[in-house]
Structure 1
Amino acid sequence: MNTPVTRAPHAPRTRRTTTLRTPGGLSLRLDVRAVAAGTALLALAGAAAVALIGSGDFPLTPGEVLRALTGGGEAGQRFIVRELRLPRALVGLLVGAAFGIAGAVFQTVSRNPLGSPDVLGFGQGASVGALFVIVYLHGGTFAVAAGAVTGGVVTGLLIFLLAWQRGIHGYRFVLVGIGAAAMLYALVLYLLTKANIVEATGATTWMTGSLSGRDWGQVWPLAAVCAVLVPLTLAYGRPLRMLEMGEDAAGALGVRTGRVRAVTLSAAVVLVAAATAAAGPIAFVALTAPQLARRLTRAPGPNLLPSAAMGAALLVGADWAGQRLFGADQLPVGVLTGALGGAYLVRLLITERRGGRI
């Protein structure tokens, strides 16, 4: 008679960590996989930027690009790299990082994978602000950017006020944002009907989302915003991780939940508005970057730095693919990210449905 064999339960998988100690006695524990994934994503973003700089009517090898960036090479190559193509790559890196870190904040605070700025209407709000300046004020590039930032910030304030009910709760926040996005999109269409043919063409081009024609005038303001708000958001990484457990649990652990939400969401809204002003409402980077980063790191919490690196790599890589795959047509990066992100959103909705969460 055979005796059934009872298997011992699998021990829970432990994560490899390392501890760094400072001379002052402080210690910092690092997740090895998360650090390795974040480093690989940063390297990937840098490689994509070098490939993007080398693409165009006058192609350059990666070695020529690096020599031009460090002051070597021919004078013509240095001009092409530094003055014509480097600003485009830097805007792509900064915009992608801003979208990635903002998406991670929104999804953490709402505790919902659909809690993304482009799904919740912040991109549409920035579009309304920019179109109002184009159609009614006939403003230039700086005025349009200021209108986009104002529209995004005002939209954020309205959504927070409408969704607030003793705190921000996931699905109410998402539903209010989706409703606001629909109304704002209708307002965008209305503003387009009021524009003349030249204004409508410029507005449509801006709304597509593109890195084409970007110069140092877009780099420096966005870099200044990121230099202030990205470190501020990273400083709240630990409270955000606790906030994922729920407001009551985080409060019991000493987290000032109201302050954490107010600071991080405000920073995320301004990051989205500034990025949208620089490159247009590029869709779905903020939605996909945090989730892809979390799948790579397999670490709990918002994964702010990996999300920023993933967003930068996705956006610059998509812009490079738009040039390489479509040749002289140079498909705008917003079209490519919209197509890929839409497919990812459908997959996410199916996964959420099967999990009984929607």
Structure 2
Amino acid sequence: MKKQAMTIITAGRRKRWRRWIIMNSLLGLLSIVLCCAMLLLGNTIYTLEEVIGALSGEASDGASFAVTTIRLPRMLAGLFAGFAFGIAGNTFQTMLRNPLANPDILGITSGSSVAALFCILVLQTSDTTASIASVISGLGTAALIYILSRGSSFAVGRLIIVGIGIQAMLTAVISYLLMEGAREDLPTALQWLNGSLNGAQMDALLPLFLTVAVCAPVVLALGKHLSTLELGEQSAFSLGLNTDKTRVLLIVSSVCMIALAASVTGPISFVAFLSGPIAKRLAGSGSSNALPAGLVGVNLVLGADLIGQFAFDVRFPAGIITGVLGAPFLLYLLIRMNRKGSL
């Protein structure tokens, strides 16, 4: 009987692992297809040979300029920002055991946005300074939310309520900055707020590349501990996990990725919110969803940008498309949680 039970458990584990591998492979393949489409499509459609020639420096000046100066930075911005939004959003949702507990709703994204907008509209600083200010502000916002919600013990519900309050306050600050900013800077600020890959440049992408390269492996390595935190504070502590240290590492890594991604592309709405639940539906719950959530984020950003560019007569930024997709899902989730008594 015991041997039969072990056989069933092992078979189930292999089945879940096989599903996880297959879905990650498919998501990765779709990401590659979308990356290629970002390089091939535009006002002029180039062949794959022409794109390869442009990347290797052997194509004509027109193709080389379009591919390497405009399309490649745009594609890389969507690739790394999408992965950062997806993996960070899933981290918060899993760690806090609530699909509403993502950086957008908690106010962390708005915290980064306030600093970036202040640099754009008031100080008129360089992109590097805006990125640094965005990270510092995002970390400060996360620390403030954590401290205010801590109390005598950590409580997820209290953290979400505090985060929503901070989000409302920061949204008011953003509105004030937009009203008081110089008129000539408002188009740039509004485009940034809507979440767009337009105007991405290779120089501004380097901090995002380095941050994702450092922080994403930390989150992936802590995937097992993240699943343990999902069991609850007491259960995780009883299993020997240093919950405070693990939570701080996960929060700092996730906030750094969110802040740098937002400083480059703007706060592309609902990507951090949608990636985790979609990844969980696709890859299942047997293994860490950090990697599939990151890949889902990549596909959402790149797919939304392509739809915004070519599906309509007017071109829309990626954030508009993801907002249209994410808003109905948020309403559905709220209704579902209300029926279950989770709200």
Instruction: State yes or no: 1:347 paired with 2:342.
Output: no
Relative distance call for 1:174 and 1:82 in structure 2 (3 A) is same
Once the two structures are superposed, what CA deviation does each residue of 1:277-316 show, in whole Å capped at 9, x if it has no partner? 1111111000000110000011245410000011011101
CA distance in 2, matches of 1:33, 1:311: 19
CA contact (8 A) 2:127 2:204 kept: no
Instruction: State yes or no: 1:356 paired with 2:305.
Output: no
How many residues are treated as equivalent by the alignment?
336
Q: Which residue of 1 aligns with 2:84?
A: 98
Instruction: State yes or no: 1:320 paired with 2:317.
Output: no
- TM-aligned CA deviation for residue 75 of structure 1: 5.5
CA distance in 1, matches of 2:297, 2:61: 33
Once the two structures are superposed, what CA deviation does each residue of 1:113-136 show, in whole Å capped at 9, x if it has no partner? 101101111121112111222333
- TM-aligned CA deviation for residue 141 of structure 1: 2.7
Q: Which residue of 2 aligns with 1:143?
A: 129
Larger CA Rg, structure 1 vs 2? 1
CA distance in 1, matches of 2:170, 2:63: 44
Q: Which residue of 2 aligns with 1:4?
A: none
- Give the letter for the 1:347 counterpart: Y
CA distance in 1, matches of 2:271, 2:85: 6
CA contact (8 A) 1:244 1:301 kept: no
Q: Which residue of 1 aligns with 2:71?
A: 85
TM (normalized to structure 1)? 0.88
SS in 2 for 1:160: helix
Given candidates 263, 273, 289, the residue that maps to 1:303 is: 289
User: 286-295 vs 130-139, which deviates more?
Assistant: 130-139
SS in 1 for 2:200: coil
**Equivalent runs, 1:101-116 vs 2, <5 Å:** 101-116=87-102
CA contact (8 A) 2:86 2:296 kept: yes
Q: Which residue of 2 aligns with 1:335?
A: 320
CA contact (8 A) 2:23 2:283 kept: yes
CA distance in 1, matches of 2:98, 2:89: 11
CA distance in 2, matches of 1:82, 1:159: 41
Relative distance call for 1:303 and 1:166 in structure 2 (3 A) is farther
- Give the letter for the 1:326 counterpart: F
CA distance in 1, matches of 2:227, 2:49: 41
CA distance in 1, matches of 2:185, 2:198: 18
Given candidates 217, 235, 239, the residue that maps to 2:221 is: 235
Once the two structures are superposed, what CA deviation does each residue of 1:59-91 show, in whole Å capped at 9, x if it has no partner? 124554356446665564344322321111011
CA distance in 2, matches of 1:61, 1:299: 40
Relative distance call for 1:91 and 1:240 in structure 2 (3 A) is same
Relative distance call for 1:340 and 1:302 in structure 2 (3 A) is same
CA contact (8 A) 1:120 1:180 kept: yes
Q: Which residue of 2 aligns with 1:177?
A: 163
User: 281-290 vs 249-258, which deviates more?
Assistant: 249-258
TM (normalized to structure 2)? 0.92
| RMSD after superposition | 2.1
Q: Which residue of 1 aligns with 2:202?
A: 216
CA contact (8 A) 1:210 1:334 kept: yes
Once the two structures are superposed, what CA deviation does each residue of 1:248-271 show, in whole Å capped at 9, x if it has no partner? 111222211111101001111111
Given candidates 251, 260, 274, the residue that maps to 1:274 is: 260
Q: Which residue of 2 aligns with 1:294?
A: 280
- TM-aligned CA deviation for residue 149 of structure 1: 2.2
CA contact (8 A) 2:268 2:319 kept: yes
User: Percent same amino acid at aligned positions?
Assistant: 37
- Whichever structure has more helix as a proportion of its residues is 2
Given candidates 20, 42, 53, the residue that maps to 2:39 is: 53
SS in 2 for 1:87: helix
CA contact (8 A) 2:20 2:287 kept: no
Q: Which residue of 2 aligns with 1:17?
A: 14
CA distance in 2, matches of 1:282, 1:225: 18
Q: Which residue of 2 aligns with 1:257?
A: 243
- TM-aligned CA deviation for residue 343 of structure 1: 1.3
CA distance in 1, matches of 2:62, 2:118: 40
Relative distance call for 1:108 and 1:161 in structure 2 (3 A) is same
CA distance in 2, matches of 1:354, 1:158: 32
Q: Which residue of 2 aligns with 1:3?
A: none
SS in 1 for 2:198: coil
